[in-house]
Amino acid sequence: MIAYVPAATLHAAPPSAATTAAQDDVQARQRAATEKLLKDLNRQTGTIPIAAAKAELNLGDRYYFVGPEQSRTILVDIWRNPPAAANGVLGMVFPKGKSFADDTWSAVITYEDTGYVSDDDAKTIDYNAMLADMRKSDEAQAADTRAQGYPAGILQRWAQSPTYDGGKHSLVWARDIKFDDTPEDTLNYDIRLLGREGVLSMNILASMSQLDEVREAAKTFASVGSFKSGARYVDYNAATDRKAEYGLAGLVAAGGAAAVAKKVGLLAVLAKFGKFILIGLVAAFAAFRNFFARLFGRKPALEASEWEAPSDEDKAG
């Protein structure tokens, strides 16, 4: 699982002079990166093509889109997430008049070429049972998560129970997640638009105090995305097209713990769609950016270079 390291200030010992100097250096670089990006930010409005998904976002002038390169700068250089957090991110969306430097929500846009996801299970999924399984799994994994130096997150409830719109082929749900040592719960709103060849994902990252605002935004976002002719859900050809090995339950479970994914048969295709499985997990932790005092606050436990996996040569040495 990809996870994010909590702030170094979780350690009880007071920081040394060297540590303080390093933190000051990180904050200075964050500040410089923020000021530069705010000046150069390319805010795109109107209809935004998402070529990788054969889709587009019809944002109008209420929201604006930031492309993948500047999104990576926001996620990695400024919010101090590991570089892997930006892999596969096609862009981010913010409300008009706000930016990554404000206390506002943002939406991370991704697409996964999973194949056609059947909605045949739409009316038979017991989401209350799934919620209970997710919570139990979070609780069971909490000790190991803390032992690795990460804050444990426990699912509290559905902030919005999963709802599927069969006409728009969109699945929307929201989770209330409690992370260790945070005064406010994290809100993770998930929106999935089903297409002929895969799923366009919009993960809205916010805090629970923004629930009302984000709920309204989510209603809009469930309609702003559309696949182009030939790539739409209704264009699926069972005789020729690849089909995912899971349905709507799998999409929801993909944003939860492995134990839940296993119950709906999702782990059987982990080798094929591992990246897709991780997207929901990454988004959930990305919503936790405020824990890092995301703008000019506390330094994460690792520098960006240290997030990179060691090479075989390094391991051998």
Q: Is the pLDDT of residue 262 over 70?
A: no
The full set of domains in the chain, from first to last, is: 8-120+150-244+282-307 (3.40.1000.10)
Alpha carbon distance 130, 290 (integer Å):
28
For residues 22-39, average pLDDT: 80
For residues 118-135, average pLDDT: 92
pLDDT classification of 34: cutoffs 50, 70, 90: confident
Provide φ and ψ at 109, rounded to 5°: -105, 125
- pLDDT for residue 18: 64
pTM above 0.85, yes or no: no
pLDDT digits (tens, 9 = 90+) for 56-114: 999 999 999 999 999 999 888 887 766 777 889 999 999 999 988 887 888 999 998 98
Q: Is the pLDDT of residue 47 over 80?
A: yes
Of 75, 112, 138, 305, nearest to 193 (Cα)?
Answer: 112
- 155 pairs with which residues across the strands? 177
pLDDT classification of 186: cutoffs 50, 70, 90: confident
DSSP state of 210: G
Alpha carbon distance 125, 20 (integer Å):
51
Rg (CA), the chain: 20
- pLDDT for residue 240: 97
Residues 161/190, Cβ–Cβ less than 8 Å: no
Pairwise pLDDT comparison (55 vs 30), residue with the higher score: 55
184 contact partners, CB below 8 Å, separation of at least 6: 207, 208, 209, 290
